[in-house]
Structure 1
Amino acid sequence: MSDLLTHADVTARTDARHWRVLLNTIHASFRTETFTRGFLLAQRITIAAEAVQHHPDLHLTYDRLRVRLTSHDVHGVTDRDIALAAVISQIADELGIESEVPVLGVTEIAVDALDIPAVLPFWRAVFAYRDDATTQDALEDPAGIGPSIWFQQMDAPRPQRNRIHLDVTVPHDVAEQRVAEAIAAGGHLVSGDRAPSFWVLADPEGNEVCVCTWQARD
């Protein structure tokens, strides 16, 4: 087992051209342009991962390869992830494949509940999810593709506003741009009191979303 690294340490030690910290994981999105180049990059990454017996999650589409690294035994980023990220960056450079940091993000569904144990089984059944390994108050997609669902404890009923919202965790250095673009697109800032940890935004009808980063969370 390796020691957990802080998000600040991970950010300092990974290639800023490619990697960003998102929810106790590090992500990169490589613009491969063709499926064949994406498959080649995925193949090279697979060989490197097998050599060190530490395996990333890969999501290959026609023109992109998304890579996610974490150490599941400690539920966070360790030296193993840093080392493999460096190898993956080198492989991408050798193949002449660039990355796209601004497109990175992880979405969660947040459900405010008075009685979490009563509510959680419903969402587990509807989504066919499983309990999150790191906390009792969250669910995760067994396939690792869909958004996780987490449950926030309420102290009293709140009928005056929505009780389900989205959390979008983005790279720390693009968060303010995301917030500005959302406001320019017709939304408004509900609260920035906890920034840069998160900003609370709402669309023109009051539906809320939080734009989150790793900062102010370590």
Structure 2
Amino acid sequence: MSNKDILSQEDRESRLTHLPHWRYVHGQLCTAFKCSSAATALSFLAEIGTLAEESNHHPDVDWRYDTLFVTLVSHDVGGVSLRDVSMAEKISELAEEHGAQANLNITRTVEIAIDTDDRKQISETWRAALGYKEQEDGSLTDPYGRGPAIWFQNTDTPNNNRFHLDISVPHSHHLDVLDGLKQAGARLNYDGAPAWTVATDPQGNRLCICTEAGRHDG
């Protein structure tokens, strides 16, 4: 297998058993490291940058005070490859050197989903307004990775409430999220579980809790 080949689901899951600091969320390896201070987080960030330059493989890192959110994906092949696994291992080693603790409960990604019976009629409006790029599946993504992706849920019978959020969480933690939703009064529909569970708030607004389990993404 080449370092640039996308890992199969079986191989990816096998390798994740040796990466306790990481989870697979929506096509990426994700983690969040909490440090003892903002200064420590910044030092950790600088070393990740040096490592990325040496490896010529660059993760996305979001520095938030004492916490670093890190995602890894091989953009040139459109998925997780051995390069990402190798980089994840090295970043985890740096985390231990800095005393950073992984907090996997906050590794979440958000998409905005829009029900429509004619995606092409509306997608250009959203692309132009946001400056996003259209992907092969028709979804729209921020080329700078800052804003949430938008995807169009094609249906002949769009819901009255056409907008909902898709919140992707690691499968290992999704039950905690669903329990929190139930305690908050949401109604849950498990028809698509575990790939997605539809939650409806007391006023009828919907969102989906999505996981990697049950998805046919290779």
TM-score normalised by the chain length of structure 2: 0.92
Q: SS in structure 2 opposite 1:173? A: helix
- Partners of 1:138 and 1:145 in 2: how far apart? 15
Map of 1:43 onto structure 2: 46
Aligned residue among 72, 77, 90 for 1:74? 77
* Pairing 1:174-213 to 2, within 5 Å after superposition: 174-189=173-188, 191-213=189-211
* Matching of residue 61 in structure 1 with residue 70 in structure 2: no
Q: SS in structure 1 opposite 2:171? A: coil
Map of 1:216 onto structure 2: 214
- Partners of 2:10 and 2:24 in 1: how far apart? 9
Report the CA distance between 1:136 and its aligned residue: 4.1
Instruction: Supply the AA of the counterpart residue of 2:210.
Output: C
* Pairing 1:83-102 to 2, within 5 Å after superposition: 83-102=86-105
Q: Contact 2:19/2:89 (CA < 8 Å) preserved in 1?
A: no
Root mean square deviation, CA, Å: 1.5
* Pairing 1:157-172 to 2, within 5 Å after superposition: 158=158, 161-172=160-171
* Pairing 1:23-34 to 2, within 5 Å after superposition: 23-34=26-37
Change (3 A) 1:53 1:66: same
Instruction: Supply the AA of the counterpart residue of 1:197.
Output: A
Which ranges of structure 2 fall in alignment gaps of 5 or more residues?
none
Q: Contact 1:30/1:99 (CA < 8 Å) preserved in 2?
A: yes
- Partners of 1:33 and 1:207 in 2: how far apart? 38
- Partners of 1:128 and 1:71 in 2: how far apart? 22
- Partners of 1:93 and 1:62 in 2: how far apart? 18
- Partners of 2:192 and 2:151 in 1: how far apart? 19
TM-score normalised by the chain length of structure 1: 0.92
Report the CA distance between 1:50 and its aligned residue: 1.4
Q: Contact 2:138/2:151 (CA < 8 Å) preserved in 1?
A: yes
Q: Contact 2:35/2:99 (CA < 8 Å) preserved in 1?
A: no
- Partners of 1:6 and 1:126 in 2: how far apart? 36
Q: Contact 1:28/1:67 (CA < 8 Å) preserved in 2?
A: yes
- Partners of 2:207 and 2:36 in 1: how far apart? 31
Report the CA distance between 1:138 and its aligned residue: 0.7
Q: SS in structure 2 opposite 1:174? A: helix
Percent identity between matched residues is 36
Map of 1:3 onto structure 2: 5
Q: SS in structure 2 opposite 1:216? A: coil
Number of residue pairs aligned between Structure 1 and Structure 2 = 213
Report the CA distance between 1:90 and its aligned residue: 0.6
* Matching of residue 152 in structure 1 with residue 153 in structure 2: yes
